[in-house]
Amino acid sequence: RNKERIALKHGAHREGKRNDAAMQKWREYGLGQFIHWGVYAIPGGQWNGKTTTYAAEWFRTSGLITHEEYDNLYKQFNPVNFDAKEWAKQAKEMGARYMIFTTKHHDGFCMWPSKYTDYTIANTPYKKDIVKELVDAYTAEGIDVYLYFSIIDWSHPGYYSGGNINSPKIKETFQSGGDYNPFETEEQEERYEDFKSFTRNQLLELVDNYPAMKGLWFDGSWDVAWVKNAAWVDTLGMELRAKHPGLIIGSRFRSDELGNRHVDANGDLIDDYDQRYERSLPSTLEDTKGFDWDCVMTIPENQWGYHRDWSLSYVKTPYDLIEMTVKANSLNGNFVINFGPDGEGNIRTEETKIAKGVGEWMDVNREAVYGVHNSVLEKQDWGYSTQKGESIYLTVFNKPMNDRVRVKVPRSKTKDMIFVIEHAEFISGKQEAIVADGGRDKYGSYYYDIVIPRKVSNKKEPFVIKIKLKEVD
Ligand code: JFZ
């Protein structure tokens, strides 16, 4: 490093990746599930015959419901059909290896019986601790649980936003030196202190109550009031980690003292993995900067919570989601599919169908998704490749018309040596593949053609070829 480093008190606490057992396990998940569930599931994007086109979990701000009406919805929250074991079983069948659950979204409603507010599940007709039921059921299925927690809380009198640090104007003012103060009055600033203790109490409560959970998934940390409190947030993070060894926290928790989010002023990742990929994927390995990362994805365009009307946008198919999963894995990331159960506790039939579709594919092809990383092959037109040890998995999404998958193998570092495909098989049915010479280009790269048998070619879903390379002279 010849670049001069900026001395930061609250930047990243580490250069490079975390390499303890908990983080290594995280890195191997491949596929996960997100669940957005709260009182917003009751209106499901509709009120008095009107439908919002905005995200259903933001319904309180839709203008279609008064704040008073919204803040009383919890009195009707009674999801009698909720069955945590059923959800966990379905997630398992889909192939998810971790699950992120909204313990508290921006509206402030707590899905666990928090001691620090009355706005919780304990004061609904349902009464039971939903977070506990989910942590227990998913953990029993061998699926690791992460708790989503919004640091935006519209229900708390001390909560204050101050605006979004991502807005160029606010960021510029914040960074223009001096002691930028996002608060308008002293009283507001004092009340924010109450909000900070409340937030800290709730987080310590979650970590205490649910020791089986593996990490916290933060949201809302773009508020400039939160950013301004970078030192306090940093200390809180250390406190949470000390209480729960191995705790995993993504880059959406805190910023450095200069207001940089995700990566600090020196370009180092803040906390454990890059959380920037919200409904988006990196295109290349270079884009990921070598960080750990995951991508969280909605099934419709931008609906996380339950929205009754899915005709408002394109709805992704299992094929779309499988392609994104394998693409993420080929770029060293995990892929997370979001579900938004309804107000009665049902997972909608569309989502159940999608989970089944993804699960059927995962049943056959999970080897190409779990515990893999980017492969030594360069990206090629037929699809994406992943690797685990010596095994390279080619997942073919674009099947060539001639039923031959042309594979470009890497060039040897040693002159006079070349890579050959020593073995190739279709992992469905463990059928050995015929490999033919695919020629050589003027740059000295070698190609091999893997012949797709009719049995495989006739199928409609993407298929996986597992190959092993060998260097020969
Ligand atoms: C946030 C929430 O507002 C939303 O309701 C949902 O819970 C989602 C998972 O997170 O939305 C975001 C968060 C980050 C970005 C955009 C929307 N972002 O980084 O561009």
User: Mapping DSSP to helix (H, G, I), strand (E, B) and coil, where does residue 325 land?
Assistant: helix
Q: Report how far residue 19's alpha carbon sits from residue 234's, in angstroms, rounded to the nearest whole number.
A: 21
C-alpha 183 to ligand 1 mean position (Å):
24
Q: Is 376:469 a contact under the CB 8 Å cutoff? A: yes
Question: Strands 215-219, 248-249: parallel, antiparallel or unpaired by DSSP?
Answer: parallel
**Mutate which of 106, 166, 219 for ligand 1 pocket (most atoms within 8 A of beta carbon):** 219
Buried-state track 279-291, b at ≥16 Cβ within 10 A, e below 16: eebbeeeeebeeb
Q: Is 310:52 a contact under the CB 8 Å cutoff? A: no
pLDDT, tens only, 237-251: 999 999 999 999 999
pLDDT, tens only, 360-414: 999 999 999 999 999 999 999 999 999 999 999 999 999 999 999 999 999 988 8
C-alpha 284 to ligand 1 mean position (Å):
23
pLDDT, tens only, 126-162: 999 999 999 999 999 999 999 999 999 999 999 999 9
Ligand 1 atom index nearest CA of 152: 3
pLDDT, tens only, 283-342: 999 999 999 999 999 999 999 999 999 999 999 999 999 999 999 999 999 999 999 999
Q: Report how far residue 121's alpha carbon sits from residue 2's, in angstroms, rounded to the nearest whole number.
A: 54
For the domain made up of 375-472, give the CATH fold.
Answer: Immunoglobulin-like (2.60.40)
Q: Is 93:56 a contact under the CB 8 Å cutoff? A: no
C-alpha 262 to ligand 1 mean position (Å):
14
Structural domain spans, the chain = 21-372, 375-472
C-alpha closest to that of 215 among 311, 145, 306: 145
> What's the pTM?
0.97
- The angle at the Cα of 225, spanning 264 to 110, to the nearest 5 degrees, equals 100
ipTM over 0.90 threshold = yes
Domain 21-372 has CATH 1.20.120.160: no
Residue 2: the pLDDT is: 55
pLDDT, tens only, 461-470: 999 999 999 9
Ligand 1 atom index nearest CA of 34: 9
